[in-house]
């Protein structure tokens, strides 16, 4: 059933893509012109609403506006303990909005076989319904946000999922970034989400960065700036607030802030040249928000161990005063260990607001944050006038979105807006253009194999656990079998025994060709971004054997592109910068010669493959 669906998707993409993309690329003038949220422009009515609302708000209501709890977008009954908790946060703590996540399922925290995935995608109608119900119990409209870095499909099943940002950099066309932002805004607003925590404005110039990686548009500050600006304009054109993150730059670190406190030990002069320009570009393009990062920057904040999250010098001094940014400033998730390992929940929240933030996002205990902020105001640690400034910014954002007039979404409209072939065609076009052939020593790409040819397919995983949103090769393998039915597929990972790896290596010579798909994630909380040594040895062995046997051998890299530098022996290497269905289908089409290969590296892979490198191939089928 899945295979049949994938065939239909592939044919649909090919049929629809050309007309859609031609329309997109003709809108360059629009891309350049759009710089602000266009869903609702402020007027006398809106300004009056902001002033009159602030005038009657209690201190509790003001403090609550600064807090953003989260909810899961899976079905939730009104008659449930969890709904009561969420409704209580609205009624009792007066929270200003919610952060929407996907789903989550229970899994045992056990040793030896702790491979269960907890994360699942959410349901669009369930998420929109819950957003509506929470809006209905709030006296002030809620401003909801989500992390839709790769589109609404990043969190919600059935919505459009775009490739990772680095794929846009490889495709090289900012107009596609604009269109991805616009589509994300249209789909997100249909679900009652008003703020996208994207785009990522970090410049990924550290190959060992375990948390940014392909989330960045590339390693060149000017290129990242252009794509950030285009994506911001697209979000604005669709009516959604864009959030540039992670200020003032999370790219040059080798520590995951989910696990520890990263250090970027560069002087202010270097930060001005590399890290800060994309944020300036995003702000100039009309970003309505900035999200800060849990990182230590001695060049900006001399106090040892003080993250940007709680640095008045960085948030107020640099962002507010020097860059002149007077729109919303969000913290990153306050549950990350870079913060929780140093400060209590209340200390972190109070210091973040004191530093200049408007909204404390995803705290470990939202009720404790409410009480702590309220007490800090009463004790004079936080001034009520500064709280009022944040509240005004929050209410003005809600007013510009038109939430003071209408806050509920129409659930009947969701199926006609979220997902769909036209949006999928844009995602597929980005993925197709991103395919980057960095080497092809034996001229094996595209593969010129007859239909009856036998192929050994190696699905090579970093580790087999945690694939909650889709098993690797679920699209690659059926797409491969559509073109060459005689495929033998084997999955290997760090759990594959040496004896099994030896057996696979010995059998490779029996086939007409070998194709390897390498899946390596740079995932939050993982801290891992490499292949197992045994698997690396297998790939090197296959490279040697296929050279002697004159067999085609093509390797496709999904996820972390820097892994390719650890395998210089591979004769042909194709980069996708992404994971899951769209990238897998694009890769098969590329190696089968059905589409041209035109992608260019947005990063350098050692000295041999500089930024901008890429081999071109024409379609042959």
285 and 187 together in one domain:
yes
* Active-site annotation holds for 357: no
pLDDT at residue 45, as a whole number? 81
What's the pLDDT at 261?
A: 86
Query: What's the pLDDT tens digit per position in 408-467?
Result: 999 999 999 999 999 999 999 999 999 999 999 999 999 999 999 999 999 999 999 888
- In this prediction, residue 525 carries a pLDDT of 55
Cβ atoms within 10 A of the Cβ of 168, count? 28
Residues 404 and 486 in one domain: no
Give CA angle at 147 (143, 152), nearest 5°. 95
Under 8 Å between Cβ of 477 and 487? yes
Query: What local confidence, expressed as pLDDT, does residue 46 receive?
Result: 81
Q: Residues near 414 by Cβ (< 8 Å), separated by ≥ 6?
A: 124, 125, 128, 190, 191
Q: Which residues of the chain have pLDDT under 70?
A: 1-42, 113-114, 523-527
Query: Does residue 457 fall inside a structural domain?
Result: yes
In a domain? residue 261: yes
User: What's the first-to-final CA gap in the chain, in angstroms?
Assistant: 27
Closest CA to 61 of 90, 82, 36, 85: 90
Strand segments, DSSP code E, in 412-571 are 436-440, 455-461, 487-492, 513-520, 553-559
Q: For residue 449, give the CATH number of its domain.
A: 3.40.50.1700
Identify whether residues 443 and 379 lie together within a single domain.
Answer: no
| Residue 202 CA neighbour count, 13 Å, CB half | 28
Average confidence score pLDDT of the chain = 92
Q: Look up 258 and say whether it is catalytic.
A: yes
pLDDT number for residue 31: 39
Q: Does residue 45 sit in the same domain as residue 127?
A: yes
Catalytic entry in 94, 194, 246, 258: 258
Number of domains into which the chain is organized: 2
CATH number of 255's domain = 3.20.20.300
> Which of the following is catalytic: 332, 358, 366, 578?
332
DSSP assignment of 108-141: ---SS------EE-B-HHHHHHHHHHHHHT-SS-
Rounded to two decimals, what is the model's pTM? 0.93
Q: What was the pLDDT predicted at 29?
A: 38
Together in a domain, 180 and 45: yes
Check whether residue 405 and residue 441 sit in a common domain.
no
Same domain, 456 and 499: yes
Q: Which domain holds residue 528?
A: 435-591
Asked if residue 294 and residue 198 are part of one domain, the reply reads yes
Residue 88 lies in a domain: yes
Q: Give the closest residue to 552 by CA, choosing from 481, 428, 449.
A: 449
Q: Report which secondary-structure segment, H or E, holds 71.
A: strand 70-72
Would you say residue 8 lies in a domain?
Answer: no
Choose the final residue of a domain: 417, 443, 478. Answer: 417
Residues 402 and 469 in one domain: no
Q: Are residues 272 and 382 in the same domain?
A: yes
């Amino acid at each position: 059933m899945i295979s049949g669906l994938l065939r239909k998707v592939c044919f649909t993409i090919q049929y629809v893509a050309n007309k859609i993309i031609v329309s997109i690329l003709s809108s360059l003038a629009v891309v350049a012109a759009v710089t602000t949220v266009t869903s609702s422009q402020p007027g006398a009515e809106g300004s009056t609403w902001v002033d009159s609302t602030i005038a009657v708000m209690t201190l509790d209501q003001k403090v609550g506006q600064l807090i953003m709890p989260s909810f899961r977008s899976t079905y939730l009954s009104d008659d449930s303990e969890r709904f009561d908790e969420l409704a209580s946060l609205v009624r009792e703590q007066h929270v200003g909005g919610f952060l929407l996540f996907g789903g989550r399922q229970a899994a045992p925290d056990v040793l030896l076989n702790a491979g269960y995935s907890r994360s699942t995608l959410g349901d669009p109608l369930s998420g929109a319904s819950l957003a509506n119900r929470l809006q209905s119990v709030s006296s002030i409209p809620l401003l909801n946000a989500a992390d839709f870095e790769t589109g609404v499909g990043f969190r919600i099943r059935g919505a459009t999922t775009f490739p990772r940002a680095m794929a846009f950099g490889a495709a090289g066309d900012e107009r596609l970034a604009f269109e991805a932002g616009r589509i994300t805004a249209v789909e997100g607003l249909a679900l009652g989400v008003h703020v996208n925590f994207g785009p990522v404005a970090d410049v990924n110039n550290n190959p060992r960065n375990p948390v940014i990686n392909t989330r960045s548009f590339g390693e060149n500050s000017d290129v990242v700036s252009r794509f950030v600006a285009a994506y911001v304009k697209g979000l604005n054109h669709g009516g959604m607030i864009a959030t540039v993150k992670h200020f003032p730059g999370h790219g040059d670190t080798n520590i995951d802030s989910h696990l520890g406190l990263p250090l970027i030990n560069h002087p202010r002069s270097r930060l001005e040249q590399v890290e800060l320009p994309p944020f300036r570009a995003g702000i100039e393009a009309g970003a309505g928000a900035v999200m800060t990062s849990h990182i230590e920057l001695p060049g900006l904040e001399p106090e040892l161990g003080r993250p940007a999250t709680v640095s008045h010098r960085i948030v107020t001094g640099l962002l507010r005063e020097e860059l002149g940014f007077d729109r919303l400033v969000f913290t990153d998730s306050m549950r990350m260990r870079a913060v929780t390992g140093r400060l209590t929940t209340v200390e972190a929240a109070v210091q973040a607001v004191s530093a200049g933030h408007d909204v404390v996002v995803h705290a470990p205990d939202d009720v404790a944050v409410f009480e702590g902020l309220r007490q800090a105001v009463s004790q004079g640690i936080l001034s009520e006038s500064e709280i009022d400034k944040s509240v005004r910014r929050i209410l003005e954002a809600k007013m510009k979105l038109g939430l003071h007039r209408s806050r509920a979404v129409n659930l009947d409209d969701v199926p006609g807006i979220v997902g769909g072939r036209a949006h999928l065609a844009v995602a597929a076009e980005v993925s197709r253009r991103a395919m980057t052939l960095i080497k092809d020593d034996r001229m094996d790409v595209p593969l010129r194999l007859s239909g009856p040819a036998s192929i050994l397919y190696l699905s090579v995983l970093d580790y087999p656990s945690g694939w909650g949103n889709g098993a690797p090769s679920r699209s690659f393998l059926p797409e491969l079998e559509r073109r060459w039915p005689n495929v033998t597929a084997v999955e290997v990972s760090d759990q594959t025994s040496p004896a099994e790896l030896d057996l696979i290596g010995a059998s490779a010579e029996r086939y007409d060709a070998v194709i390897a798909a390498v899946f390596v994630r740079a995932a939050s909380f993982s801290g891992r971004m490499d292949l197992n040594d045994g698997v690396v040895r297998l790939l090197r062995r296959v490279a040697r054997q296929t050279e002697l046997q004159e067999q085609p051998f093509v390797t496709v890299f999904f996820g972390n592109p820097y892994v390719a530098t650890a395998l210089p022996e591979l004769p042909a290497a194709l980069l996708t910068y992404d994971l899951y269905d769209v990238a897998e289908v694009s890769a098969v089409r590329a190696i089968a010669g059905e589409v041209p290969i035109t992608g260019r590296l947005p990063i350098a892979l050692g000295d041999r493959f500089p930024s901008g490198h890429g081999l071109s191939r024409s379609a042959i089928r």
